[in-house]
Structure 1
Amino acid sequence: MLHESPAGVPPEVDPDFAREWLEFPDPADPGRVVRADLTWLTSAWTCVFGRGCAGVVEGRADDGCCSHGAFFSEADDLLRVTAAVAELTDEDWQLAPVGRGAWTEVDTADDPPDPDAGADTEDAARSVRTRLVDGACVFLNRPGFPGGAGCALHRMALREDLHPLTTKPDVCWQLPVRREQESVERPDGSRVLVTTLGEFDRRGWGPGGADLHWWCTGSPAAHVSREPMVLTYAAELTALIGAAAYAELRRLAEVRLDLGMVAPHPASPAPVPVVLQVRRPGGTGTSEVRDR
């Protein structure tokens, strides 16, 4: 069911619908179980920045989801991006003249931890975000920039033949996949780490998610890929759960799609084909196209 949206804003589906979940042990770690939302990971979602994205803030469609800057998940995240910033050229980064000396800022919503007072380094890093300049992230190249609109860190990665997840803040490359980790006690008293991969929908942002001008995961306007996310997000999913677990996730997703046993995402319209290389036991593999 599509919700009404403001004039000119692509509609979104209701976030509550039937989903197909898959749970399997990590082949590389007997102490971990991966729980994956197949409805989301086999959807036709793809980023539509600059080609239909309405933006999270009204009147700022060119910002995409970069209007609020990016918070760092941990100290290593901040250090990795710091190294990437050092590689940015003026051709990569429109706001280099104002950003090189100060590209981070501390969130003022709460009192940030003080590392000098003995606060945890990870907590201190999580209170830091990329600086906002004129209402958007300092790394966002605006329309008209000769190097192209979009993330300067993303542009530099492509120039250096790197995957953007190696240069951008964690939150930027992980979205719109939500990963949660939970230690679970089983009935026999043993414990297992459950890693859950799901859709980072509006509610993933907390109470403020309902106030976003637009959010892409539930909008048919962003479900236009010819391949499912389990393929197009291979690098990101591998980084999130490891190579062995990703390989098993992909194998199981292919089997389930081949059997037609995945509840479809309502934002992925039926005419949009999802293409998978289907591998059957004892076979060399065939290519099939299934309408979703």
Structure 2
Amino acid sequence: MPPEVEPDFAREWVEFPDPADPRHVVRADLTWLASAWTCVFGRGCAGVVPGRPDDGCCSHGAFFSDEDDLLRVTAAVADLADEDWQLAPVGRGAWTEEDSADDEAPDEAPDEGGVRSLRTRLVDGACVFLNRPGFPGGTGCALHRMAAREELHPLTTKPDVCWQLPVRREQEEVERPDGSTVLVSTVGEFDRRGWGPGGADLHWWCTGSPAAHVSPEPLVLTYRPELTALLGPAAYDELRRLTEARLDQGLVAPHPASPAPVPLTLSRRRPAG
């Protein structure tokens, strides 16, 4: 199994106001966003369940964050062709299921609408949308395959949790000493601990593994569409500017899973504009 680094190490953070909204503040983990992480599904991914590397991180299905998330994926399912989806149920209707785990925090409000407890259905130990090895359409997510075929970005077709990983965004309304209130969006690494107590039991998790830190460009560039969707265009542009400026100055604490020379090398190779 590919090795992983310990989750605690020095990180470089930056905080800045959103140029498009002074009531929105972004707090970003530059160590993570300047790292060389990239998805290695099908090319080195060891999977989160022992003996199932072809599942990647799709073994447990995907939970929906809210009604909009569910509706977007429902619309995408209607556009799936037979060559996209190996395990399409008859009638295309039975692709979700209620989670039976009773692991809500005691002080957490019940999910009245049922969306948070709803996930993509599991078939033979993995997500119903995961095409298995040997499928003519190729191994991997059917929703991702359809997006590529239609020249769409996968964030428009896949559940929120699937396209956001491994970036973690947390939002909090913060009251300042003068009585004003701002929305603080914190973006950083979705490491094992992001999954809660169960994260320690994952067979493997890619964010801390050198096997997944093999991109020739930093995450702030390769995840531009996802970061833009999470923060907004103006905030993303400012985040990229600040990350590149600090890389140029050699001020970003490096991610221990990334090759040592990557941050400075990448800053010289960044595209213009």
Could you tell me the TM-score, scaled by structure 1's length?
A: 0.87
Aligned to 2:130: 140
Look at both structures and tell me which one has the larger radius of gyration over its CA atoms. Answer: 1
**Structure 1 residues 111 and 228: CA distance shift in structure 2, 3 A:** closer
Map Cα deviations across residues 78-105 of structure 1 (whole Å, 9 max, x no partner). Answer: 0000000000011000011458220000
State whether residues 47 and 203 of structure 2, in contact with CA within 8 Å, keep that contact through their aligned partners in structure 1: yes
> Is the alpha carbon distance of 1:119 and 1:227 closer, same or farther for their aligned partners in structure 2, counting shifts above 3 Å?
closer
Aligned partners of 1:143, 1:204: CA distance in 2, in Å? 29
Counterpart in the other structure of 2:163 = 173
1:31 to 23, 26, 37: 23
Q: Tell me whether 1:185 sits opposite 2:175 in the alignment.
A: yes
Say which SS state the counterpart of residue 236 (structure 1) adopts.
helix
With a CA cutoff of 8 Å and minimum separation of 6, indicate the structure with the bigger relative contact order.
2
- Equivalent in 223, 237, 245 of residue 247 of structure 1: 237
Q: Which residue is 2:198 aligned to?
A: 208
Q: What TM-score do you get using the length of structure 2 for normalisation?
A: 0.93
Select the residue among 63, 67, 70 that pairs with 2:59: 67
Count of residues in correspondence between the two structures: 267
2:71 to 76, 79, 100: 79
1:1-292 map, 5 Å: 9-98=1-90, 100-110=92-102, 120-121=112-113, 124-272=114-262, 274-276=265-267
Cα–Cα, structure 1 residues 205 and 86, in superposed 2: closer, same or farther, change >3 Å? same
Counterparts of 2:151 and 2:142, CA distance in 1? 14
Secondary structure of 1:13's counterpart equals coil
The one-letter code sitting in structure 2 at the alignment partner of 1:33 is V
Q: Deviations over 1:192-232 (max 9, x none)?
A: 11100010000000000000000000000000000000000
Please tell me whether the aligned partners of residues 38 and 212 of structure 2 are also in contact (alpha carbons under 8 angstroms).
yes
Q: Percent identity?
A: 82
Q: What letter corresponds to residue 50 of structure 1 in structure 2?
A: G
User: Match for 1:34: what amino acid?
Assistant: V
Report the alpha carbon displacement of residue 276 of structure 1 after superposing the two structures with TM: 3.7
* Greater strand fraction, Structure 1 or Structure 2: 1
Structure 1 unmatched runs, 5+: 1-8, 113-117, 280-284, 288-292
Which secondary structure does the structure 1 equivalent of 2:48 belong to? coil
Give ranges in structure 2 of 5+ residues lacking alignment.
105-109
Question: Over residues 241-264 of structure 1, what are the superposed CA-to-partner deviations in whole Å (9 max), with x where a residue is unaligned?
Answer: 000000000011110000101000
> Which whole-Å CA distance do the structure 2 matches of 1:78 and 1:286 have between them?
37
